[in-house]
Amino acid sequence: HKALHTDKDLLKKDQKHFLHPTSNPKQQAKSGASIVLRRGQGIYLEDIEGKRYIDGLSSLWNVNVGHGNKELAQTAFEQMETLAYASSFKGYSNPSAINLSEKLAEIAPNGLNSVFFTSGGSESNDTAFKLSRFYWEQVGKPEKKKIIALERSYHGVTIGAQSATHLPAFHAFSGSHMNDVYHAVPHLTDCERGNKDADHYERSIRGVIEREGKETVAAVIIEPIQGAGGIYVPPAGYLEAVRKLCNEYDIHFIADEVICGFGRTGSMFAVEHWDVVPDFMSVAKGITSGYAQLGGVLIHDKIRKVINDFDGVLAHGFTYSGHAMACAVGLKNIEIIERDGLVDRAKEMGEYFGDRLEELVTKHTSVGLTRGMGLLRSIELFKDSKSFERFDPQDNAAEKLYQHCFDRGLLVRTSGGNGINIIPLAPPLIISQPEIDELIERFSAGITAFE
Ligand code: PLP
């Protein structure tokens, strides 16, 4: 225990040398107040001071099997010892990448039988955009280039993904954009306040396509359940209607399952809830439960068939596409999810979790709504939850609640801005009922302190 405490200068070194992603540099430079996490077990994390936290978001919605999994560690060790890495370019391959690609084809919706491996979610979405455009070039429609995404979406931070991402700070950062990306109305708050009309949302996408011209649109990208934007479950019939719309106009449907995939919502992939088969499906995060950096784009057979006819260099690929260790960990991770019944567990525990969150809506005047499926949920805060009156933007209500939760050893996340105050929650799929109770207890205490 003590041995882990020896490096007294960690915070100083962190402040000086480690520029953190998605953080406030001025605050970091001023205070050096990073929380340095040194180990994790199950749903818990522990910092260098020995303080324990419940990891209420599975870190970044990715540690699906929980922390400290020895089987994954052992798998990584054995693969690294045998062959940590080898190229997948040209004619080279490795058994772990091959076996994982076969496994993904087995568990994915019908027709999605091949995969292009990446190192994460942003790369997966950029890859989907490029493969979609490449497909249209191959079938003689090179003018189909435009990408349609939804408002409040989060698809990552590489230039393609950032362009599709609509959350204002990320979309605007450094003004780096790909041309030809347009946004439609998302399946948002309205559906919680009475507008459950799937057509309303479908019409928004249809409107953008008709305005831009269907002969110029390559793909529509959607998070089946919008994640970082605040956990928005689509109204019944919506994703099916978008699928039909894409068929009607000859446009690809890209499902971004980076958060939703691998059991999180109570099915292996979220599109299964609505029986929708996308043309491309981006995955990352839960594919390895965060134990290795890996992502991929699953590709429908009808697209693969056209790609197979291309007699040239498919000039796209990352050094770590098909990384042997990452793929071995991914394969073992999926084996654990299946063997331990974590998909059903996410459904079952998710329902219990949802009920407990509903209780908070009744109990706390500031909690107006709870949304979600499986172990992907959120609550929304209001100044007056009866009339859904929002807090003033300057109040930073969600940030304040975040701090109260942190003080009580519960790590959550905030979403919203502009007076919208959402706390997403997505604990590891291995969470037990008593652990959910403990999470709710800390959360409720945090809300009481906030109020
Ligand atoms: N897509 C979605 C839906 C995400 O939530 C994220 C990350 O949070 C990404 C893509 C980007 O993934 P990465 O950070 O691995 O590039």
The predicted complex's ipTM stands at: 0.99
Task: State yes or no: pLDDT of 1 exceeds 60.
Answer: no
Angle among Cα 141, 146, 151 to the nearest 5 degrees reads: 155
Q: Tell me the fold of 35-65+341-450.
A: Aspartate Aminotransferase, domain 1 (3.90.1150)
For 193, phi then psi, to 5°, come to -110, 20
Q: Which residue's CA is the nearest one to ligand 1's atom 13?
A: 121
**Mean pLDDT of all residues belonging to the chain:** 95
Listed by start position, the domains of the chain span 35-65+341-450, 71-339
Q: Is 227 in the pocket of ligand 1 (CB under 6 A)?
A: yes
**Per-residue model confidence (pLDDT) at position 31:** 77
Nearest to 283 by CA among 425, 160, 118: 118
Does ligand 1 come within 6 angstroms of the Cβ of 154? yes
Residues β-bridged to residue 370: 379
Residue 335 to residue 331: CA distance in whole angstroms:
6
Nearest atom within ligand 1 for CA of residue 60: 8
CA of 62 to the centre of ligand 1 (A): 10
Per-residue pLDDT tens over the stretch 344-382: 999 999 999 999 999 999 999 999 999 999 999 999 999
**pLDDT tens per residue, range 84-123:** 999 999 999 999 999 999 999 999 999 999 999 999 999 9
Report the amino acid identity of residue 285.
K
Nearest-atom number in ligand 1 for the CA of 284 is 15
pTM of the model: 0.97
Closest Cα to atom 8 of ligand 1 = 156
Candidates 63, 122, 167: which one to mutate for ligand 1, based on the most atoms within 8 Å of Cβ? Answer: 122
* Residue 356 CB–ligand 1 contact under 6 Å: no
How far does residue 326's CA lie from ligand 1's centre (Å)? 17
Query: How far does the centroid of ligand 1 lie from the alpha carbon of residue 156, in Å?
Result: 5
Whole-number CA gyration radius for the chain: 22
Any atom of ligand 1 within 6 Å of the Cβ of 112: no
Is 149 touching ligand 1 by the criterion CB < 6 Å?
no
d(CA 33, CA 19): 13
Which pLDDT does position 200 carry in this prediction?
85
Atom number, ligand 1, closest to the C-alpha of residue 295: 15
Residue 194 pLDDT > 60: no
Ramachandran assignment for 423, one of left (phi > 0), alpha (psi -120 to 50 degrees), beta (any other): beta
Query: DSSP readout, 261-277?
Result: TTTTTSSSSGGGGGT--
Cα separation of 244 and 202, whole Å? 10
Is 235 close to ligand 1, i.e. is its CB under 6 Å away? no
The confidence score (pLDDT) of residue 191 equals 53
Strand 415-417 to strand 420-425: parallel, antiparallel, or no bridges (unpaired)? antiparallel
| H or E element, residue 58 | helix 58-61
CATH number among 3.40.640.10, 3.40.50.620, 3.40.190.10, 3.90.245.10, domain 71-339: 3.40.640.10
Sign of torsion over alpha carbons 321, 326, 331, 337: negative
pLDDT of residue 8: 65
Helix or strand holding residue 55 (H, E): strand 52-55
> pLDDT for 173-183, tens place per residue?
999 999 999 99
| Percent over 70 (pLDDT), the chain | 97
Strands 376-381, 420-425: pairing is: antiparallel
pLDDT of 431 higher than 70 = yes
Give residue 210's pLDDT: 97
Query: Taking 50 as the threshold, does the pLDDT of residue 2 lie above it?
Result: no
